[in-house]
Homo-oligomer: A and B are copies of this chain.
């Protein structure tokens, strides 16, 4: 068992900590909006797809009546708290409905509301101290635990989870394919920082890495989730057969690359520094995800849906400034790690300017959504 518990060798990309101007806490309301929109979808998924009788067939014969939920890639809050509250309320609601329905006597004693235990997971480098002090500051109707480690490997004992949630975390790649920085490879990503508008070989290298990551993720979760347990995955996505370059996120990543190249031409950084930097993010399509899930074979796809994460009320908040601030909160850490701190202010100042020029391209151009909502159920093996 010693191997499975060793952290998978993966890179971590922590969001900006603290609560300053450029912090994730202050610049994650796109994510917050996504959490709010997802709320209804989660409620409906639990109502329609969670089979309590299947789950509590285990509880009935056990001395414990604990419903275990994990949020994978939780960051430091506050969105994870809102999400976990949503999940827990949806499950409680489902239990209450079951209790109020007539049922046969054999199961009546087993419908007691369970206690909830929520596991908050993120990389070891995540600021769990901040997460825990935020948790302590509020009453919460569940027991809590923090689980450090990569979700691309095993994190929990077999069949110990009943519900897994992961929002806006799975698009981060665990590691970058080496060929992207190999001058002799056709996948060398010269003068760019992402596969947006890059040669097809670059895209293929990203795609293959994402496939490996998701395969490991699903393999681990298939062991950890009880039969009948649900997994809700939320991630940025492209519609089938639409290249990322035609989506706002692709425009933003392309723009980041252009500004970095401008800075290299002006001598702020070297061109080879830009060549060797690649954003570790992959944006999947529904069709690809279906393929990956089917290859794993342990989960049934209960819901798969592209949706618009921003409600119409929030659309006004997508301004060049807010997009820049969000980009900074999410990416500043890995940019500083590669380029150092000196160029940061200048970089984001220029990005903001460019975004103002291109603001019409920041609005979604397809009618389809830009986020994937997936509900998987652990099949009986």
Contact = CB atoms under 8 A, between A and B. Distances in A.
Interface of A: 1-2, 5-7, 58, 61-66, 115-117, 119, 124-125, 127-129, 132-133, 135-136, 139-149, 154-160, 226-227
Contact of A124 (B62, B66, B136): B136
Contacts of A158: 64-66, 115
A369 B66 CA distance: 41
Contact of A5 (B132, B140, B148, B226): B140
Closest 10 CB pairs of A and B: A61-B61, A66-B157, A145-B145, A132-B148, A115-B157, A124-B136, A146-B146, A62-B62, A63-B159, A64-B159
A181 to B, nearest CB: 26
Contact of A147 (B116, B142, B145): B145
Contact of A64 (B132, B136, B145, B157): B157
Contacts of A144: 5, 147-149
A132 to B, nearest CB: 4
Given A64-B157, A141-B1, A227-B63, A124 B133 contact: yes
Contact of A145 (B135, B141, B146): B146
Contact of A157 (B143, B146, B148): B143
B143 A154 contact: yes
Contacts of A63: 58, 159, 226-227
Given A124-B133, A146-B145, A148-B132, A2 B139 contact: yes
Contacts of A226: 63-64
A116 B158 CA distance: 10
Nearest to A136: B124
Contacts of A61: 61-62
A227 B64 CA distance: 11
B132 A128 contact: yes
Contacts of A119: 145
A146 B155 CA distance: 13
A142 B3 CA distance: 10
A107 to B, nearest CB: 16
Given A117-B157, A117-B160, 17 more contacts: A1-B142, A5-B140, A5-B142, A5-B144, A61-B62, A62-B62, A64-B157, A64-B158, A64-B159, A65-B159, A115-B157, A115-B158, A124-B133, A128-B132, A143-B156, A146-B147, A146-B148
Contact of A148 (B135, B154, B155): B135
B133 A5 contact: no
A136 B159 contact: no
Contacts of A146: 128, 132, 145-148
A339 B304 CA distance: 60
A378 to B, nearest CB: 11
A5 B149 contact: no
A129 B119 CA distance: 16
B66 A62 contact: no
A324 B127 CA distance: 33
A155 B129 contact: no
Nearest to A62: B62
A148 B124 contact: no
B117 A143 contact: no
Nearest to A64: B159
Contacts of A156: 117, 143
12 contacts: A1-B141, A5-B141, A6-B140, A58-B63, A63-B159, A63-B227, A64-B226, A65-B157, A125-B133, A128-B146, A143-B154, A146-B148
